[in-house]
A and B are shown apart, each in its own frame.
Chain A
Amino acid sequence: MPNNPVPNKTDETQTEAVEQTPVHVDHLIANGELAAENAWCVSYDADALPEQRPAFVPLALWQANQEDAELAPLLTSDTELTAELGKQLGNAPAIAIDFPAFTDGRGYSIARLLRERYGYSGEVRAVGDVLVDQLEYMRRCGFTAMALRDDQHPEDALRALSFFSVRYQPDVEERQALFERRLADNK
């Protein structure tokens, strides 16, 4: 496998490399476990389909090639999830949401909207700058798969998913706010 560039970094050489090479990460966390297999690659090239399959490709490319069941949409973090798009994405076999930088929190809102507003039930995968310490929030927002940045340790990732047993807010995993559950407990 060639050197995996960090996706969406503005460094010129990397940008070029990203356009050429679909990204295939070493470690994928799926449904809370280290996945044995990771068939999907991620292609950031907006103009051409990659040769590898299955592949996440930029939204417009997926929209133009929906008949190919081995393609799935890759949403950039600035994707505006309109009702029309939300409905269309219901047909996708899986959806990847890109984190161009781990500090870009837009992907969390996109994932929640896909799950809670548009009822998407397939895999929602975090790709890009995906770090161990973001996984817990990602899972709560509806991500079922996280493709770790290559320098991340999978054992750290699994541990990071296990720290919390309490949450105040309702989220994709838990539909009741803690204040509601407390009231139910006291009845």
Chain B
Amino acid sequence: MYRYDIHDQTLVDERVAQFRDQMERYRAGRLGEEEFRPLRLQNGLYIQRHAPMLRIAIPYGMLAGNQLRALAEITRRYDRGYGHFTTRQNLQLNWPALEDVPDILADLAKVQMHAIQTSGNCIRNTTSDQFAGIANDEVEDPRPWCELIRQWSTLHPEFAYLPRKFKIAVSGAAQDRAAIQVHDIGLRLWHNADGELRVKVLAGGGLGRTPMIADVVREDLPWQHLLTYLEACVRVYNQFGRRDNKFKARIKILVKALGIEEFRRRVEEEWAHLKDGPQTLNQAAVDAAKVHFPEPDRRPVAESANEDFDRLRAENRSFARFVTNNVTDHKVPGYKAVTLSLKRREHAPGDVTADQMEAVADLADRYSFGEVRVTHEQNLVLSDVPVDELEALWKELEALGMANPTVGTLNDIICCPGGDYCSLANAVSIPIAQALQERFEDLDFLYDLGPLDLNISGCMNACGHHHVGHIGILGVDKKGEEFYQISIGGNSTDDASLGKILGPSFFRSDVPDVVEKVLEVYVSQRHEDERFLDTYRRIGLKPFKERVYA
């Protein structure tokens, strides 16, 4: 993974010194609340319901074992011994003290981490595919490109005061696992007929109050121009995005208002000036980024190991369940990627304790070259596990409570912190997730349902991505009471779509019953092997509506 050189290290160290100065001026009353706000946000610091919240960047979801150990130590020293992995592959601390934040940032800098631009109206942490570099459907490893984008966007002097936040996601595989169609800019790396790398540039996707699927700005950008083209896109947005209404300030509103043709025309016009300018990439620069993402030194795995693995899978039902749901094929024969489930009833989705972080770091060292990835579904991945060590790893994960064989099922709920923590939320979301996990815990039932994304957001900012859940749940506030609106038919992958609202919202206590009725309609109406999403697309909203509101 990417390792800092002296320049990267100096920059994060200087950033810590700058923020320490800002914090001191704030605490001394020399810097007002309003003036301090964007400064702290662009260092990841929110003022929340119970305490400040600090969002730590995990660039494109890649973590080294020593970084995870440092995070564990930070949660112990400055917080309550746990952290929350988010849908944007970051880690949030829920209980840091305001005055400790410069020290936390200094501790992060010691392990080449930071919280730069994890919030605020700027370019945020770039996200990507959790199976980058190992997926067997991959065309191009997105991580070196993400790193180039990370550097381009970090402390960019022109784009720190955009109309609103700006999120970029990159995918380099046949299947989109980075939800690029619902980002401000989505990038897809692909090869043309001559085998040359091209970038498909999407813009104007997003969730939140006005969910939209992105439009294509450019189908076939040569890779050399990636950064100048991004600069043109963001400059057009900076100049023309609305600033009069924060709810209409995202780039998606600009793209829709201008129309994609006019938006594209302006970007291309701007880009004509920037093209071939100083940020044009060359092979040497890309190679220098790629050096940081080498193939690990994988030992050969004997052919017989695959046979043993298949036999064990046939003999042991629990192991088989784990493999079916939590183990992903690898581009290298004899290796697998393993997803560690952070969805357990006793914890909020995405929460991990300090002890668990250390245990995972230890497992990563012993089974997967010391690296861990964070997924946008709020799980963790060990990306390079030899098949002859899978059983041993599985047993260790069982002991840790991270082997829940439910990845990709209804139980693998995406969920924001909600009203228990977040000051923006209209309603709680974690108790909803827990109630649903309790109701639908029978594994045979979950497997029978097949792949099913259930996403929960506590408000229309949509941090829980409810619009793109096959089933989406949104907390709403009506005269001070919590209600839940349920939508069906959303999807974040290649055939992305936004969910449709079922009808009037429900009491919190009714949500499990309503979801159960929705599932009953699916089970009774599905054709053989038909996914929930496909059944919905075939039969439409009406049968679900009739059953739920009968």
Contact = CB atoms under 8 A, between A and B. Distances in A.
A122 to B, nearest CB: 20
Interface in A73-105: 80, 102-105
B59 to A, nearest CB: 13
Contact of A168 (B11, B31, B243): B11
Contact of B157 (A102, A137, A178): A137
A156 B25 contact: yes
Contacts, number: 111
Identify the interface centre among A138, A160, A167, A186: most chain B CB within 10 Å of its CB. A167
B284 interface: yes
Shortest beta-carbon contacts, A-B, top 10: A105-B161, A140-B157, A170-B278, A137-B157, A163-B18, A166-B11, A168-B151, A179-B285, A108-B158, A166-B10
Contacts of A179: 148, 151, 281, 285, 288-289
Contacts of A175: 278
Given A112-B158, A168-B155, A159 B21 contact: yes
Contacts of A109: 158, 235, 238-239
Contacts of B22: 133
A156 B235 CA distance: 29
B11 A117 contact: no
B35 A102 contact: yes
Given A104-B243, A175-B278, A178-B151, A117 B35 contact: no
Contacts of A168: 11, 151-152, 154-156
A42 to B, nearest CB: 20
A103 B279 contact: no
Interface in A148-185: 153, 156, 159-160, 163-171, 175-180, 182-183
B14 A166 contact: yes
22 contacts: A105-B162, A108-B157, A109-B238, A112-B158, A117-B273, A133-B39, A141-B158, A159-B21, A160-B21, A163-B14, A164-B11, A165-B10, A166-B8, A166-B11, A167-B155, A168-B11, A169-B152, A176-B278, A178-B7, A179-B288, A182-B7, A183-B285
Contacts of A29: none
Contacts of B239: 80, 106, 109
Interface in A118-146: 131-134, 136-138, 140-141
Interface centre among B148, B151, B157, B279 (most CB of A within 10 A): B157
Contacts of A177: 152, 227, 278-279
Most chain B CB within a 10 A radius of its CB, from A131, A165, A166: A166
B423 to A, nearest CB: 20
B447 interface: no
Nearest to A133: B39
Nearest to B241: A106
Nearest to A111: B158
Contacts of A140: 157
A175 B277 CA distance: 10
B419 to A, nearest CB: 27
B489 to A, nearest CB: 37
Interface string B412-445: 0000000000000000000000000000000000
A175 B280 CA distance: 12
A169 B10 CA distance: 15
B506 interface: no
Contacts of B235: 109
B38 A169 contact: no
Contacts of A164: 11, 14-15, 18, 155
B30 interface: yes
A171 B121 CA distance: 20
A131 B161 CA distance: 13
B159 interface: yes
Contact of B158 (A105, A156, A163): A105
Nearest to B148: A179
B51 interface: no
A127 to B, nearest CB: 16
Count chain A CB atoms within 10 A of each CB in B39, B152, B162, B278 and give the residue with the most.
Answer: B278
Given A108-B160, A163-B18, 10 more contacts: A109-B238, A112-B158, A131-B35, A137-B157, A137-B158, A163-B21, A165-B10, A175-B278, A182-B7, A183-B285
B5 interface: yes
B174 interface: no
A124 to B, nearest CB: 14
Nearest to B235: A109
A138 B157 CA distance: 7
> Considering residues A102, A103, A156, which has the most beta carbons from chain B within 10 angstroms of its beta carbon?
A103
A159 B22 CA distance: 11
B156 A169 contact: yes
A139 to B, nearest CB: 8
B40 to A, nearest CB: 11
B156 A103 contact: no
Given A102-B161, A137-B160, A183 B288 contact: yes
B139 interface: no
Contacts of A138: 157
B449 interface: no
Contacts of B157: 108, 136-138, 140-141, 167, 169, 171
A115 B347 CA distance: 54
Interface string B107-151: 000000000000001000000000000000000000000001001
Contacts of B17: 163
A108 B279 contact: no
A136 B235 CA distance: 19
A103 B7 contact: no
Nearest to A79: B239
A117 B155 CA distance: 22
Contacts of B289: 179
B30 A153 contact: yes
A183 B279 CA distance: 13
Contact of A103 (B5, B15, B38): B38
Interface string B442-467: 00000000000000000000000000
A130 to B, nearest CB: 11
A180 B161 contact: no
Contacts of B288: 179, 182-183, 186
B151 A180 contact: no
Interface in B22-44: 22, 25, 30-31, 35, 38-39
A100 to B, nearest CB: 9
Given A117-B273, A141-B157, A105 B238 contact: yes
Interface string B353-386: 0000000000000000000000000000000000
